[in-house]
Homo-oligomer: A and B are copies of this chain.
Amino acid sequence: MSRFRIAVLASGAGTNLQAILDRVHGRDRIEVAAVASNKPDAPALERARRAGVQTRVFEQAAHPDRVARDAAIADWLDGEGVDLVALAGYMELLSPQFVSRFRGRIINVHPALLPSFPGLDPIGRALDHGVAVTGVTVHFVDEGVDSGPIILQRAIEVPYTRDRSQLEEEIHRVEHELLPEAIRMIAAGAVSVDTANPRLVHVGHDRNG
């Protein structure tokens, strides 16, 4: 049977990439086939190399504009026969052209219960807003900012102390579970978008689970 090939885009430490490498890479026919970053010094790249996954850097400065840079990424991923693109701490907005080429095949993990707190610093903004419950969302990427159809969400109680580092730790722990879980379910064919309402994602049981 053919492999389910994932690409991961990351800009930073790559802890979500590490969770994918540890939890789904090489299992259930899932393979992390490519890791791309916009930052040549992103620690995520080193994590990929240690796992034997090929990497490429797409610096903005090397391309005339964002559309051209994203086209270069898309060309590489298409050439590698990638089935799914997972954003794991990728700090750039993808061009509409990229989203269109991989329509319904790009997912992102966001550290809030969308539609609350889309965009930058959702953890800090949730704390400033005084919420008692926040969480993590895995969603398909569309042309908007964290606005695509929701695949999985998990709630997290804000600690009584409202300590940011404590909340961050808990959110990251949940991200590291939820993003691999979403990948596993998509690879298993257990995730589909409603034909009548493209906002609604149907998530069945993981046939490989």
- List A residues at the B interface (Cβ < 8 Å): 113-117, 128-133, 135, 137, 149-155, 160, 162, 197, 199-201, 203
> Bound state CA distance, A201 and B199, in angstroms?
34
Q: Which residue of B is nearest A198, CB measured?
A: B130
Known contacts A155-B155, A199-B128: does B162 contact A133 (CB below 8 Å)? no
Q: Which of B150, B160, B162 contacts A131 (CB 8 A)?
A: B150
Give the residue of B128, B133, B150 whose beta carbon is less than 8 angstroms from that of A153.
B133
Q: Which 10 A-B pairs have the closest CB atoms?
A: A155-B155, A132-B153, A133-B153, A130-B199, A130-B200, A116-B116, A133-B155, A130-B150, A115-B116, A130-B149
User: In the complex, which residues of chain B have a beta carbon less than 8 angstroms from the beta carbon of A151?
Assistant: 132
Interface pairs (12), CB distance under 8 Å: A113-B113, A113-B116, A115-B116, A115-B129, A115-B131, A129-B150, A130-B199, A132-B150, A132-B151, A133-B135, A133-B154, A135-B155
Contact between A200 and B162 (Cβ–Cβ < 8 Å)?
A: yes
- Complex CA gap A128/B143 in Å reads 19
19 further A-B contacts with Cβ under 8 Å, apart from A113-B155, A115-B116, A132-B137, are: A113-B113, A113-B116, A113-B133, A115-B117, A115-B131, A116-B116, A128-B199, A129-B199, A130-B150, A130-B197, A130-B201, A131-B153, A132-B150, A132-B151, A132-B153, A132-B203, A155-B155, A160-B203, A162-B200
Cα separation A87 to B151 with both chains bound (whole Å): 34
Most B Cβ at <10 Å: residue of A116, A152, A154, A203: A116
Q: Which residues of B have CB within 8 Å of A197?
A: 128, 130
